[in-house]
Amino acid sequence: MPDPRPLTVLASGIFALLLTMGVARFAYTPMLAYMQTQTGMGDALAGWLAGWNYLGYLSGVLLVTRLRDLMLKDRLYRAGLVLAVITTAMMAMGESPVLWGVSRYLAGLSTAAGLMLGSGLILNWLIRHGHRSELGLHFSGLGLGIVLGGVLVEASAPFVGWAAQWWVLTVAGALLLIPALRWLPRPNQGTPLAAHHVAEAREPSPAWLWLLQAAYLCAGFGYAINATFTVLITEQQPALAGQGGLMWLLVGLAAAPAPVLWDRVARRLGYLRSLQAAYVLQIIGILLPVLSGSLAAAVASSLLFGLTFIGIVSLVLTMVGVRYPAHPAQIMARLTLGYGIAQIVAPVVAGELSELTGTFDGSLLMVAAIMVLGLLCLTAMRRLAV
């Protein structure tokens, strides 16, 4: 069989992210409003389910960091894609919180497969076949997935109930599964990778890494609150009832080109300054719904979140690859652990707080303060001699 073109292989990754992130993970966010209305789900349960999803993702990340065999990674990746379809169907099978919790946990595992295993396998194929090791186009699947899930949820809402909406998402996921599986070649095809010896590089100080760990932990809080509750935060504004789905679509539209855009910014400003800019923009976006209940504020908040959340992740992980060339996987795993813990804790705390106060304003102020702490950590990193 002739080798596929790079765009075909990258497209397989985009379809995988549309499935695992757009359908299995992020469709839960616009579905929350409909499930709460039709099933009586409270904010606390919504937060707990999101926490289970992040716990599944974190479990998957920890598993991935222990894998070394490429063929095993490939098999688990493909199994994760199938699991994404199954877990989406599980959400439609009843109104049991236990069923939903199991679904969200397993969906988190599939997300780790689609994002981490898929990215690694595609990068491996590109290197083996002499192509540029750039994944900006691949990561655009994150934003496109948000758009796809949001469109499917909103388009089906006038015609069917919440359970049927999940079945619509399941059918879409099954269709996405086909090119995601077929277009990615097996990893043992192509020229074997030559032995690579990384030259001794002067790594940053331990204090620099601890500050990065703290900053990334803070970013996990900022991401989790917005990714889980953007729709509900919008719907709670009296003048914006019915606009939550639209705001989520705007998040996806802004996120789709974000990885490529932040790569360009980093070429000019460097990674740390680019990260500082992303943190500032995200803090502004978090505070806007607290300061104003207008449509303009909601639109700006959604666009800023979409622009920054995937940019922060891509900038941090790329910077780790540059500063720790001898062992980037271990450092990435360490950072992802903190980021994942924040994703588990944040939606649970925000959901409980919202149920007590009747508003998400307190949660947004809390996470904005946490993001400011992260920004201060980045500022301290720039002052350290490395």
Contact 13, 122 (CB under 8 A): yes
pLDDT at 15: 94
Q: What is the pTM of this model?
A: 0.77
DSSP structural state of residue 23: I
| pLDDT tens digit sequence for 34-66 | 998 899 888 888 888 888 988 898 888 888 877
Say if residue 386's pLDDT is above 60. Answer: no
* Spatial CA neighbour of 22 closest among 182, 164, 227, 160: 227
326, two tokens? 């001898």
Rounded to the nearest integer, the mean pLDDT of the chain is 84
Dist. CA 159–CA 186, nearest whole Å? 41
| pLDDT tens digit sequence for 268-288 | 998 899 999 999 999 999 898
Q: Which domains does the chain show, CATH number per domain?
A: 6-182 (1.20.1250.20), 206-383 (1.20.1250.20)
173, two tokens? 């996921």
| pLDDT tens digit sequence for 289-338 | 888 878 888 888 889 998 998 889 878 877 876 777 555 556 776 787 78
Contact 87, 107 (CB under 8 A): yes
| pLDDT tens digit sequence for 59-110 | 888 888 777 788 888 899 999 999 999 999 999 998 899 999 999 999 999 9
Say if residue 341's pLDDT is above 70. Answer: yes
- DSSP structure string for 351-373: HHHHHHHSSSHHHHHHHHHHHHH
DSSP structural state of residue 113: I
pLDDT at 197: 39
